[in-house]
A and B are shown apart, each in its own frame.
Chain A
Amino acid sequence: MALLETKDLGITFGGLRAVGDFSIKIEEQELMGLIGPNGAGKTTVFNLLTGVYLPTEGVINLDGENIVGKKPYEIVQKGISRTFQNIRLFKDLTVIDNVKMAFHHKMKYSAVEGILRLPSYWKEEKEIHEKALELLKLFNMDQAAYTTAKNLPYGQQRKLEIARALAADPKLLLLDEPAAGMNPNETKELMETIHFIRDKFKIAILLIEHDMSLVMGICEKIVVIDYGMIIATGTPEEIKKNKKVIGAYLGE
């Protein structure tokens, strides 16, 4: 069974059918790309998968369970986490606190235990503190653990957002234009990081990106949409040659 399967997923805004007949399958540990022209509906797909928008049609099965209608936080707890096209960090909190937020649903101690500072509080807090530092280390950000998030350079903010999404312990990670605003060198570094994450955490990744060097460089499979509809699916090699994709998206 595929990790995630959508069937005829769609949403209409007013009269505009932003996404329609959207059916894909993502296998465990798969690295898939979602590309398409601006306004094609890529971010909208992410918003549907994470429960931000309620689809007007279709099903989303995660591990065989339909998650349509679930709240965003419930979907995170079920194993899909994401980053945003426009970075949404907790800007005024420290880097490490940003990461700790995402451990929330994995922790157990109750409000009363927290207030009374029972051993369970100390134990779990210590654990997640170490875990958060470890995670930051993977991204080479442990030095900046106590900097306020908004003071980070843009590229680091993107990385922090990925780290935070990972901390939620997903099975499927959705990345919305992770390389936007990065120069080619930084993009290269990011590619390595994404690969590394997939292998280390053994998770599937679905990413949206307009930087073809990144998409073609790391995705095993690519889905192309235009006007909300899938126009092509295939390996990077196939997509590169697809006439429709070239006409609508890649250009000459």
Chain B
Amino acid sequence: MLTVNGINVYYGAIHAIKDVSFHVGDGEIVTLIGANGAGKTTILHTISGLLRTKTGDIKFLDNPINKVEPHEILKMGIAHVPEGRRIFSQMTVLENLQMGAYTRTNKEETNNMIEMVFEKFPRLKERVNQLAGTMSGGEQQMLAIGRALMSKPKLLLMDEPSMGLAPILVQEIFNIIQEINSAGTTILLVEQNANMALSIANRAYVLETGKVVLEGNAKELLGNENVRKAYLG
């Protein structure tokens, strides 16, 4: 579904991503793990078009997307739950969800989606008219995920969705990720909580200072001695 081939990304002079290649198959959950600053967020931003590759290419459903504008990429079916949530804090919860369905024209479908999101996150329903910026960290995270689901993406990029969530919710978020996945959405997941991520993923890539250093079956990596030492504690 998604093929990333030898991409290099720079922040000014900083070479953040070095020759990274990986792919995500239809219906898979693939996870990227790695220490702080390894470049995980950078990769997700590059896929959704907020950052540009210097060299290399990215193909989504066989179409090259590394020169496509971010808003077009969303229309092609990639949604992104960004790091740090980036909800619209001056808008209400409901308006945030509506923004998620910006490209959709069918009102009824939008309302159905909103109901579905409320089902998954009842807390959002309680706060439907609260300004998003005043919600707690965890509530905002739920909103960010809900918002991304609104566009019914084919591929969902998730950047540390469990960060700052209560343990009971972390469990739940991972359940929801699996649910979303089994409902047909492919998922590329970035996580610090490598244990959890590897336990729900099909395959995984390990990143170190902008390079892929290891890849394989998620369950195998979970058992890998080096990975355990470096990322699982």
Contact = CB atoms under 8 A, between A and B. Distances in A.
B183 interface: no
Interface stretch (A72-80, A136-144, A160-168, A174-182): A174-182
A212 B167 contact: yes
B168 A37 contact: yes
Interface in B181-233: 192-195, 229-233
Contacts of A177: 137, 164
A84 to B, nearest CB: 11
A109 interface: no
A192 B231 CA distance: 17
B37 interface: yes
B171 A153 contact: no
Contacts of A251: 167-168, 171-172
Interface in B128-143: 134-139, 141-142
Nearest to B172: A251
Contacts of B142: 38
Contacts of B195: 184
A202 B194 CA distance: 34
Contacts of A86: 84, 137
A187 interface: yes
A250 B168 contact: yes
Nearest to B11: A151
Contacts of B233: 183-185, 187-188, 213
Is the contact region of chain B dominated by helix, strand, or loop, or is it mixed? Answer: helix
B36 A249 contact: no
Contacts of A244: none
B158 to A, nearest CB: 14
Interface in B155-180: 160, 163-172
B163 A180 contact: yes
Contacts of A187: 233
Contact of A183 (B84, B135, B231): B231
Contacts of A153: 35-37
B72 to A, nearest CB: 30
Interface of A: 13, 35-40, 43, 85-86, 153-156, 177, 180-188, 210, 212-213, 248-251
Given A39-B139, A155-B36, 7 more contacts: A38-B137, A38-B139, A38-B165, A43-B137, A85-B164, A182-B192, A250-B167
22 contacts: A37-B166, A38-B165, A38-B166, A40-B136, A85-B164, A153-B35, A153-B37, A155-B37, A177-B164, A180-B164, A181-B160, A182-B192, A183-B35, A183-B193, A184-B193, A184-B195, A184-B233, A185-B232, A185-B233, A248-B168, A250-B168, A251-B168
